[in-house]
Structure 1
């Protein structure tokens, strides 16, 4: 898969670790359902702790893309759902995304929602990858 990051002039630079657009050629498209802050046994990780929950969600995303035959760099789009976006939670999620992706960031949308499927979940992330 060939991936090209698009950051055109004439629009604002990204506010965080994401790309305005990603163009790919070749490969298979993989749609990864929203990953939640639960471990392999279905146990909640980090009740009330956005950093612990985000780490688990990103770990689950990594597992999913690898099981699909790809790697983290193959993720081209993420959608982040959070029950509360504050300056602090935005910083935490951004920092952990930088750790995971290390540059060449996927296109990204972050939205605040009233709640997720479990009242204990603070974050859920879905992804698209090209492997």
Structure 2
């Protein structure tokens, strides 16, 4: 499987994602929205975006591994944040970097009014090609 990440010269170059991900492979993997929950399904870090983001991305990494996929095979991320503010970006990027390193798949970061649980601040979904 190969993933080519592109930033066309006639678009601004983002620092944390790529405009285009072109994947060639034999299997698509769709990871449902991962949440900041421990193994017992309990929410971790109520009110603390950094704690929740870290666990959410760790859970995403575990889901990828269970599917036989690596983080560098991810082509797209959907990141949903309750009450999005621009100053959330460094917190999200730190948690993301811990799983993805320098791999920057196409992504979307969307502010939402609420998620499944009232105390939940983040949810992340992914698509990979392996």
**Alignment partners' CA distance in 2, 1:46 and 1:124:** 13
**Contact 1:19/1:104 (<8 A) preserved:** no
Three-state SS of the structure 2 residue aligned to 1:4 is strand
Q: Give the aligned partner of residue 86 of structure 1.
A: 85
**Alignment partners' CA distance in 1, 2:81 and 2:88:** 9
Range moving further from structure 2, 99-108 or 32-41: 99-108
The answer for unaligned runs of 5 or more in structure 1 is none
Query: Displacement, 1:64?
Result: 0.7
Aligned residues: CA RMSD? 1.1
**Alignment partners' CA distance in 1, 2:116 and 2:58:** 19
**Contact 1:17/1:98 (<8 A) preserved:** no
**Contact 1:78/1:109 (<8 A) preserved:** yes
